[in-house]
Amino acid sequence: SAVISQKPSRDICQRGTSLTIQCQVDSQVTMMFWYRQQPGQSLTLIATANQGSEATYESGFVIDKFPISRPNLTFSTLTVSNLSPEDSSIYLCSVEGGQGAFHGLDTQYFGPGTRLTVL
Amino acid sequence: GENVEQHPSTLSVQEGDSAVIKCTYSDSASNYFPWYKQELGKRPQLIIDIRSNVGEKKDQRIAVTLNKTAKHFSLHITETQPEDSAVYFCAAAGGGNKLTFGTGTQLKVEL
């Protein structure tokens, strides 16, 4: 499967500031996604990062709060804007990329995550 | 949209016993059902997945079954080992490959 990295791995931010998270993949992938995992909770899809066009956001998530860039097929950024303590979560990117016959090409693999704490 | 329910939320088994985690989904158009294992502080790792044209799939000690009529699927782990202790998430996806996750099951394998 693809090797996925995220930067930063963790950060502590002040209320009202913004944090930009980078997701880098070692091979070209068609689909990239951004998820949020609140402490002790499940994963919730924020948006699909589309290459060359605006991201597709899920219900409850808006572009002003979570702007996303996808300049090419190996890289995406998620910005969490105007931070509040409620934004404290782990943010994960995922990519689609099968690893042969056992899993399909649409199998999703996750990056290591970015742990955000907002004070 | 899709809604995925997962049970139980916690599961404790003795080493060597079997563990079963069950999920139900709401959208009959969903056709892809992966299972992820997440150890503390780590990323979710895909352990097995199944598609709607298959009723069962096995990979060594892990198996997944799917009942499309009833809209439920289950994860079966046999001969559990301490390293199986983790949180397990089921998920469902339909068109657009967007994953909707269940709420997770904390599995504890006791010696």
Query: pLDDT tens digits for A38-89?
Result: 999 999 999 999 888 899 999 999 999 999 999 999 999 999 999 999 999 9
Buried b (16+ CB within 10 A) or exposed e, A54-87: ebebbeebeeebbbbbbeebbbbbbebbebeeeb
Among candidates B34, B42, B44 on the partner chain, residue whose Cβ is nearest the Cβ of A107: B34
Residue A77, H or E segment: strand A75-80
What are the two backbone dihedrals, phi and then psi, of residue B4, each rounded to the nearest 5 degrees? -120, 125
B37 three-class SS: strand
Each residue of B44-62: pLDDT tens digit? 999 999 988 889 999 999 9
pLDDT > 60? residue A98: no
Within a 13 Å sphere around the CA of B3, how many CA atoms are in the beta-carbon half? 2
Distance CA B66, CA B70 (A): 9
Displacement of CA A21 from its chain's centroid (Å): 7
Could you tell me which residues of chain A have a Cβ less than 8 Å from any Cβ in chain B? 31, 33, 41-45, 48, 58-59, 92, 96, 102-104, 106-113
Q: Within the 55-74 window of chain B, which residues sit less than 8 Å (CB to CB) from chain A?
A: 59
